């Protein structure tokens, strides 16, 4: 298996085990991360996000398929099943991840998923009615950022 494809396998296998330290070790010191909720500009924020999600995701199950990687770029389709803690609702989120690599590590990680689909599952009726709206996405982003900042301050 090519080196960067192995890195993707290592990352998502660790994620399913909630082994955030192994996940963090897959990132370059200059890494950035972006998805519909987070826009993280450094490895410390990325490390805090994965640590927070792994510690809080008591019933989190992660699976992945179609991992592909060359020397510079890679991708994988992954799925997260968990209970959204703020509403106690079950979520089955399907994500497409795109990577750029440097020095055998992830330097850029971008996750894409259908925010409206996610918000319907996680938030129920408000997500169904407003999940398409940038206002709801901004509210979720703001709340997630507050949670991450509190985690960075108190536990990281």
Q: How does 140-151 read in b/e, with b if 16+ C-beta sit within 10 Å?
A: bbeebeebbeeb
Residue 64 has pLDDT above 80, yes or no: yes
Q: What is the 3-state secondary structure (H, E, C) of 59-95?
A: CCEEEEEEEEECCCEEEEEEEEEEEECCCCEEEEEEE
Query: Please, which residues bridge with residue 92 across strands?
Result: 81
**What pLDDT band is residue 153 in, cutting at 50, 70 and 90?**
very high
Convert the pLDDT of each residue in 71-89 to its tens digit: 999 999 999 999 998 899 9
The DSSP call for residue 97 is: E
Q: Where is pLDDT greater, at 131 or 146?
A: 146
- For the entire predicted model, the pTM comes to 0.94
Residue 156 has pLDDT above 90, yes or no: no
| Residue 59 burial by Cβ neighbours in a 10 Å radius (0-12, 13-18, 19+) | exposed
**What pLDDT sits at residue 125?**
93
Residue 1 has pLDDT above 70, yes or no: no
Hey, what domains does the chain have and what are their CATH numbers? 3-113 (3.10.450.50)
CA atoms within 13 A on the CB side of 55: 11
- Which residue carries 């991450």 as its tokens? 148
- The total number of residues written for the chain in this structure: 156
């Amino acid at each position: 298996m090519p080196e960067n494809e192995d890195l993707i396998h290592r990352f998502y296998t660790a994620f399913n085990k909630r082994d955030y330290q192994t996940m963090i070790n897959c990132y370059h010191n200059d890494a950035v991360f972006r998805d519909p909720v987070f826009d993280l500009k450094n490895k410390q924020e990325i490390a805090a996000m994965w640590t927070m999600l792994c510690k809080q995701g008591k019933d989190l199950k992660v699976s992945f398929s179609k991992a592909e990687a060359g020397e510079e770029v890679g991708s994988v389709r992954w799925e997260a099943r968990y209970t959204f803690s703020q509403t106690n609702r079950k979520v089955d989120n399907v994500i497409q991840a795109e990577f750029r690599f440097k020095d055998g590590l992830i330097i850029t990680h971008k996750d894409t998923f259908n925010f409206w689909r996610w918000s319907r599952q996680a938030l129920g009726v408000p997500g169904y009615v407003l999940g398409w709206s940038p206002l709801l996405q901004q509210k979720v982003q703001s709340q997630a950022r507050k949670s991450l900042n509190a985690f960075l301050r108190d536990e990281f």
